[in-house]
Amino acid sequence: MLTSSHLLSSVQMARFVTHGYLRMDAVVPDTLNRQAVEVLSAGLPAVPYGTALPDAFPEGSFARQLVEVPAVAGALRSLVGPEPTVDHHFVHVREPHEGNAQPLHGDAIIDVRPDAFDVQLMYYPREVTADMGGTLVVPGSHLRRTNESDTGRYQNLLGQIRLTCPAGTVMLLHHGIWHGGRRNDSGTRRYMYKIRFNPTVPQVRLWNADDLADPRIAAELSTNFPWYEHATGRLEIYNRIRLWRALTGDDGFDIEYWVTRVSNRPTVGSNA
């Protein structure tokens, strides 16, 4: 049963807003990991866009068991709410010594909602070692609007991470984050199962907000990443504050007056 202890904290949410992803190592039990390789190799039935989660994944199915792992269920509830729909799901396989990689890209950046986001679950049933390539992610890139593969010409960005992880690891990503599957130079198949979730409720205080006054929240939201430019990188903090205001319902939240100073909108005749 899902309890408040499985929900994310406000500090964890602020970290997600800043980094654009949440990583949970080895949270899926080995019994499910062993089942996963066989299930994913056989293929999964397609799910129509916008299908309610219980209808998309019937009780007892592999995918249903995956999203009901308590840590996964709690994080999803915190990010997209209690009744998300499934946008789509897909099994990504990288063959041994495949010799190619995905370009750096963002998924569905036609979505320009400033106050809401979809979440993409990425599940790794096997250990991912350095020679298996892994998924490349650029922390803090999710609020910088690009169009799909516009970033494909970039080869390396300072501070990017290439996921190596134990079996049973799950990552939850903001839909806008820049990422790409790296080539597999090992002799082992690499599996990644992706599910994209759409929220159906306002994404306001869905997590355990008991620590909403924690000063670490402002510290998290003020994080700077090494690939940011000195000037335009500051806009990322501005955008995080705006998203945090939307997520908390607190229109007065600010960090060092970043957003407040540009929020005034004088009207005609206001000096009269």
Calculate the alpha carbon distances from 142 to 34, 146, 178 in Å. Answer: 32, 9, 6
DSSP classification of residue 151: G
User: What pLDDT does residue 104 have?
Assistant: 85
Tell me the C-alpha distance between 115 and 143, whole Å: 11
pLDDT digits (tens, 9 = 90+) for 23-66: 999 999 999 999 999 999 998 999 999 999 999 999 999 999 99
Strand order in the sheet with 21-24: 21-24, 169-174, 119-124, 190-198, 85-94, 51-52
pLDDT digits (tens, 9 = 90+) for 203-245: 999 999 999 999 999 999 999 999 998 888 889 999 999 999 9
pTM: 0.93
pLDDT digits (tens, 9 = 90+) for 101-160: 888 888 866 666 778 899 999 999 999 999 998 899 999 999 988 777 788 888 788 999
Range of the domain at 180: 4-198
Structural domain contains residue 268: no
pLDDT digits (tens, 9 = 90+) for 73-83: 999 999 999 99
Structural domain contains residue 155: yes
User: What pLDDT does residue 271 have?
Assistant: 59
Structural domain contains residue 259: no
Structural domain contains residue 79: yes
User: Is 90 exceeded by the pLDDT of residue 251?
Assistant: yes
Calculate the alpha carbon distances from 38 to 59, 84, 114, 260 in Å. Answer: 19, 27, 39, 53
> Could you tell me if 28 and 123 are in contact, meaning their C-beta atoms sit under 8 angstroms apart?
yes
Rounded to an integer, the average pLDDT of 68-92 is 96
Give the chain's domain count: 1
User: What pLDDT does residue 270 have?
Assistant: 56
Structural domain contains residue 233: no
Structural domain contains residue 28: yes
User: What pLDDT does residue 2 have?
Assistant: 66
Torsional sign, CA 160, 166, 172, 176: positive
Distance separating the N- and C-terminal Cα atoms of the chain: 60
